[in-house]
Amino acid sequence: MANAGQGSLKATLTVSMSNFLEAGSIVAAAGGLTLWVNYLNLSDASVGLLGAVSANGFGSAVGAFIGGALVDKYGRKFIYKYDLIVYMIGVLLIALSLNFSMLLTGYIVTGIAVGAAIPAAWTYIAEEAPAKDRAAHVGYGQLAWSVGPAVMLFLAVLMAPLGLMGSRIIFGMLFVIALITWILQQQINESIVWENQKKEDSKAENVGKKVSIKELFTIKANRKAIMLVLGIYFFWNLVAGVMGYFMPYIYQVVGGLTPAHANLLQGTLWVFTILSTYFVFIKLGDTLNRKLLFGIGAVMGIVAWIILAFGSMGMTQLLLFIILWGVAAGFGAQAFYGLWAGELFKTQYRAKVQGLMFGLVRVGVGLISLVVPAMITFLGFKAAGVVMIIFLVIHLIIGLVLAPETRGKTLKEIEEERYGSEESGIIEEEQLDGL
């Protein structure tokens, strides 16, 4: 059992490297944004378009829709044969860009690769994790997601004297790390949970019984799970997505910081997220009440944005903001999205529904990214900040009302508890079809 646990953790860490690369590419783009703006003389509309189609928006939405379906049909490991190859093409295009069209294409390709890997990563981690340590294993995926931005932003600070060439070098480094990660990911095993489900589906009595996508909306357990997981992540990510791509830009345009200082500040925020992910979510996520944990993080995030929106953006306010938001993000909606999205759905469509939800979230981020630069220019940052606070309050309410208690339970136990017998789910679907 000890060896199995070690193997599971090793696979988790290998898969989590995709999270490092994905989040790293988003923030690397953010860290070099003003450099590209100056180099290509980009308008607010062009800046918004880059954010909208990138790994932070529509690009990853398309990838998630595709990846979720493929992962449920062909296996969790399937995506790792091809995804990082597409990713490498994307970051290489960005690194070598000479014009806006080339840069935009690189953003789109990278975004698709990022989105395609997300359902596979969170699903694989949840399925391979021991029941009593599931939050901890999901936390390692979140940890990798946090380390990527921190590393990229600090590299941006070190590369600042090189100007745009420094940003090109960073994307070149992402290419190299992606190549090494791709080699390692070819060695992981398929998810045992998925393999067992496929064996069950192949039994004579189950042949011909297809799981329909409409079950996501006709079965009550699915509807409740979608309301929770999509609800908290959608509204939280409207804020976090704006921050992930535009925050250094906001520090510079609104706060008057230099690019190096802006990246240093945002990199420090991610360090707090790393520490919080490890010492709070990984260490306590399997022992403390998860609704309480979620609520504390959500309230801290709201307070952070109140300080940022209504303060003067002096150094004291900025430091309070990065500490509060950085710590809160370590056990915030994204960590709980990875955990609950893996726990609350059946194996047959666990990745598919994650792809659907993550895709919808990224569509939302893409839409808001189109207007954020213009919103700040014409309405002012305070008005934009109020909008962010409203989103965060909504996600807090959804989480506190709907959060389940799943600590220590196996995925099978959670499934039986939420769905009951297979027959009851079919009866409910038939009843709803007749309405």
- What integer pLDDT is reported at residue 5 of this predicted model? 44
Mean pLDDT computed over every residue of the chain: 85
> Residue 297, exposed/middle/buried by CB under 10 A (0-12, 13-18, 19+)?
buried
The per-residue DSSP string of 210-244 comes to PPPTTHHHHSHHHHHHHHHHHHHHHHHHHHHHHHH
- What integer pLDDT is reported at residue 224 of this predicted model? 92
24 vs 20: CA distance, rounded Å = 6
**207 pLDDT exceeds 70?**
no
Question: What mean pLDDT comes out for the span 145-164?
Answer: 87
Please report which confidence band the pLDDT of residue 249 belongs to, taking 50, 70 and 90 as the band edges.
confident
The one-letter code for the residue type at 301 is G
- Is residue 166 within 8 A of residue 156, CB to CB? The reply is yes
Please report which confidence band the pLDDT of residue 211 belongs to, taking 50, 70 and 90 as the band edges.
low
**7 pLDDT exceeds 70?**
no
Question: What mean pLDDT comes out for the span 116-130?
Answer: 85
- Looking at per-residue confidence, does 149 or 272 come out higher? 272
Question: What mean pLDDT comes out for the span 356-363?
Answer: 88
The per-residue DSSP string of 371-384 comes to HHHHHHHHH-HHHH
429 vs 435: CA distance, rounded Å = 10
- What integer pLDDT is reported at residue 421 of this predicted model? 54
Question: Which 8-state DSSP code applies to residue 205?
Answer: T
Helices (H) and strands (E) in the chain, counts: 20, 0
**426 pLDDT exceeds 80?**
no
Question: What mean pLDDT comes out for the span 122-142?
Answer: 87
- What integer pLDDT is reported at residue 196 of this predicted model? 85
Please report which confidence band the pLDDT of residue 434 belongs to, taking 50, 70 and 90 as the band edges.
very low
- What integer pLDDT is reported at residue 205 of this predicted model? 54
Q: What is the CA radius of gyration of the chain?
A: 21
**428 pLDDT exceeds 60?**
no
Please report which confidence band the pLDDT of residue 210 belongs to, taking 50, 70 and 90 as the band edges.
low
- What integer pLDDT is reported at residue 295 of this predicted model? 96
Please report which confidence band the pLDDT of residue 425 belongs to, taking 50, 70 and 90 as the band edges.
very low
Please report which confidence band the pLDDT of residue 6 belongs to, taking 50, 70 and 90 as the band edges.
very low
- What integer pLDDT is reported at residue 61 of this predicted model? 86
Q: Closest by alpha carbon to 148, among 240, 243, 32, 22?
A: 22
**137 pLDDT exceeds 60?**
yes
- What integer pLDDT is reported at residue 93 of this predicted model? 95
- What percentage of the chain has pLDDT greater than the value 70? 91
pLDDT in tens, 215-242: 878 888 899 999 999 999 999 999 998 8
Q: What is the separation of C-alpha 368 from the centre of its chain, rounded to a whole number of angstroms?
A: 17
- What integer pLDDT is reported at residue 203 of this predicted model? 65
Return the minimum-mean-pLDDT range out of 15-19, 119-123, 246-250.
Answer: 246-250
**18 pLDDT exceeds 90?**
no
- What percentage of the chain has pLDDT greater than the value 90? 36
